[in-house]
Structure 1
């Protein structure tokens, strides 16, 4: 069992949203055989290292179903490295805040990390996808890259596959097979911190883009509420918000206590960031997207407007 802790100062860039299809994780063996037949095959042949490699995040984005973290992996042995554990816990935190944590299976598709004792490529870049339930922070809610300390922890367990092989200059997208515990604290605390961070990051955008406009409100939940067969805690509220955020356009999170148009001041409110000048159009969006009247209605977003006249049910 190996524990890896790597600190990367201001190491990622290009925070944005994108839609990505998983890379094919297929016949690397055939490609490796072709590579081995080349004159410089010895330069690409790597063996498992006795000390863990370093991980550096280079990009953090969300796609249609996960938080995708691109990692630059560099071997600490001159002869490269092989990651082939069937159960590897990879956790990401930023300036002490939990970002993501999940288990990955590399036994059937190992990661071959290049040698550092040749003139070739010194690292490999691979994409680690953390589905909903295995990540807490959105890219927008992360600290400034230039001021952040990113810590990647990796703990290998389970069965181990390949001990050596050919490094191929390609990126593969790996999906976490299960969520893992956060780096610090528990899941409920990580979820609360994430809700607060996402709401804080969204507030200036809501003020500038959604303020004094009608939008579809698609969720309102508070701690301890019993609704839809769920007793809502921070973990469930974050899960629902992230599902909605990755499904609909420009979704934002509001804390009701910071806005004048909500009578209860302790709700997390999720809205779709499509704006309209009247409530009828906002309600039409709800109908077009197949959302029931109990789960979607028109709401005027404002920090000054009175509660009266700010809600239009269907």
Structure 2
């Protein structure tokens, strides 16, 4: 049921407020927001204005929140071979892009758009990575062998340098836990 609320601020402005027993979930911050605009004279919608919310700058805390949100999935694939889709760190230059926090998150989101199950981990949380403080994007499709994970990369048409088999571990080291294509 919709109710019309009138607000007086330097003239009369109205807006629609939707109420119901099951409110719709909030829109994501970066989604366009549609706002019905009503004139005081006609009390009927005359125009719909759409504006995109401006995303806040991405910080290290945002990447850590992503890693925390993905940690249960990451733990479920420890010891299994999975496709590693990306690995980026601050200051890394790839293809003319110098990676900072926003660029790392953009890289992750681009891959997540293509592979909705993709997760982010921090290399410092696992012993299989030779370097720490890399933000790593993984496809959590678990395979029995590195060859099967690499075959998945081939099937998705990744360039050889952009996807390879990786095995998350909490013990041991990098030896034997990564296999390039």
TM range (shorter): 0.7 to 0.9
Which of the pair is proportionally richer in strand?
Answer: 1
User: Unaligned stretches of 5+ in structure 1?
Assistant: 1-43, 61-68, 70-98, 113-161
Distance 1:196 1:265 in 2: 14
Alignment partner of 1:248 is 2:115: yes
Residues of 2 paired with 1:216 and 1:55: CA distance? Answer: 44
Question: Is contact 1:252-1:273 (8 Å) kept?
Answer: yes
Deviations, residues 111-142 of structure 1 (Å, cap 9, x unaligned): 26xxxxxxxxxxxxxxxxxxxxxxxxxxxxxx
Q: How many residues end up aligned between the 2 structures?
A: 169
Are residues 1:180 and 2:180 paired?
A: no
Q: How does 1:46-85 map to 2 (within 5 A)?
A: 49-50=7-8, 58-59=24-25, 69=27
8 Å contact from structure 1 (residues 101, 181) kept in 2: yes
| Alignment partners' CA distance in 1, 2:176 and 2:50 | 46
Q: What is residue 149 of structure 2 aligned with on the other side?
A: 282
Deviation at 1:281, TM superposition (A): 0.9
C-alpha change, 1:303 and 1:281, in structure 2 (3 Å) is: same
- Indicate if the aligned counterparts of 1:260 and 1:307 stay in contact, CA closer than 8 A: yes
| Cα distance, 1:197–1:281 mapped onto 2, change above 3 Å | same
TM-score, normalised on structure 1?
0.47
Q: Does 1:267 align with 2:96?
A: no
RMSD, aligned CA: 3.2
1:307 maps onto 2:174 in alignment: yes
Do 1:215 and 1:282's aligned partners in 2 also have CA atoms closer than 8 Å? yes
Distance, in Å, in 1 between the alignment partners of 2:166 and 2:8 is 58
SS where residue 130 of structure 2 aligns? coil
Which stretches in structure 2 are left out of the alignment for 5+ residues? none
Counterparts of 1:67-216 in structure 2, within 5 Å, are 69=27, 100-101=29-30, 104=33, 111=36, 162-163=38-39, 164-166=42-44, 176-177=51-52, 179-180=53-54, 182=56, 187-189=57-59, 192-208=60-76, 210-216=77-83
Report the equivalent of 2:104.
Answer: 237
Distance change (3 Å), C-alpha of 1:103 and 1:305: same
- SS of the residue corresponding to residue 100 of structure 1 reads coil
The alignment's TM-score, normalised by the length of structure 2, stands at 0.78
Moved over 2 A (4+): 44-58, 99-104, 164-167, 174-177
SS in structure 1 at match of 2:170: coil
Change (3 A) 1:279 1:181: closer
CA-to-aligned-CA distance 1:166-215 (integer Å, 9 cap, x gap): 47xxxx9x9754x5253xxxx143xx22111010121122112x111000
